[in-house]
Structure 1
Amino acid sequence: MFILFLIVAILCIFPIVILYYWGSDSGKPSKLSIIFLGLTAAIWTSFLTGVFTLFPERLTNVLWEGSWIGILILGSITFLYEFKKNKAYAFSSLIICFINGSFYMLARLFSSM
């Protein structure tokens, strides 16, 4: 499992590094990108530390669904916004969005079993 995660991480990071070196984009990320990365880090931190288990079940379901779907929508908007300005940041937000989306679907699959 760890090897598979490592391979996926390398395959996700490699195109971003190429875009940084070969791309002519040298601008800073927008505030939207920084907000997206901050919210992604907050959601992953709250998930890994078990913050979602502290609330009642009904509230937990609303927070879980809302936060993951919201971060997927925000990642898509960030990709579209950054694509015109800086392709490296755009593709990195798209890859993070795909990783979050695949984790969300995987978690829903396991919870429905």
Structure 2
Amino acid sequence: MSYDRLLHSGIIRYDSYRYNLHKKAGSLMFDPTIYDNLKVGFENHLYDLDNLDELISITDRKDRLEMAGMSREFMLQFCLRDCPEVTGEVVLSTSLEELATEILEIPVGQAGCRLWLRFNMIIKEP
């Protein structure tokens, strides 16, 4: 279904203040959310530190969409190249409520996402 047909059928709403959907090169383009922007930023920076600067090694990556509750979670785990026994994780998550509050611009509610930084170290007792 074309953008114009969606717009005229009432399936999507045209909002001159915020363009949640806009027409570009014949396809629908969606505005990224806070979660999407932060995810791409962290992902790009950490992969640059791995591939270009060779300071860290990415050891694990998870990008989850929980279909029942429509929540999202992104995790990148890494370690310093010269200190592999210490790992760090960047975990970014958002819920359906937070996404809906942002996209629908609901004045009551908490828009955004959550960020956790975790560090782990294996300790061997003598």
Same fold (TM over 0.5): no
Greater share of helix: 1
Bigger relative contact order (CA 8 A; separation at least 6) = 1
Greater share of strand: 2
Please report the TM-score for the alignment, with normalisation by the length of structure 2. Answer: 0.30
